Amino acid sequence: MSEAEGSKEALSRRRLFAGAGTAGAIAAVAAVMPRAPAEAPERPQAEAAPAEAAPGYRASAHVLRYYQTARV
């Protein structure tokens, strides 16, 4: 094997490993980058409850505002 053939083979291996390293780095960056948020379905706004409504959970305006601030 001549010296020229050996250097071509070494260069080919170097390109292979460099390409694999680059592909791995790109995959890692793509996994960490945030994705564009999917469009959330519109939630109906809480309506004023009648005075005779049963006590319990109601999605009032301040509860909906809390949900918006707690979203991750």
Residue 46: its pLDDT value, please? 56
CA distance 70 to 72: 6
- In a domain, residue 54? The reply is yes
Q: Using DSSP, state whether 45 is helix, strand or coil.
A: coil
Is residue 40 domain-resident? no
The pTM of the full predicted model, rounded to 2 decimals, is: 0.36
Sequence-distant (6+) residues with CB within 8 A of 64 are 43, 45, 46
Question: Which pLDDT score is estimated for 25?
Answer: 92
> Does residue 55 form part of some domain?
yes
Range of the domain at 22: 3-35+47-70
Q: What is the mean pLDDT of residues 1-26?
A: 77
pLDDT tens-place string over residues 24-43? 999 998 888 877 666 666 66
Structural domain contains residue 60: yes
Comparing 15-19, 21-25, 35-39, the range with the smallest average pLDDT is 35-39
Q: How many domains does the chain have?
A: 1
Residue 51 lies in a domain: yes
For residue 41, being part of any structural domain is answered with no
**Given this model, what pLDDT does residue 23 score?**
92
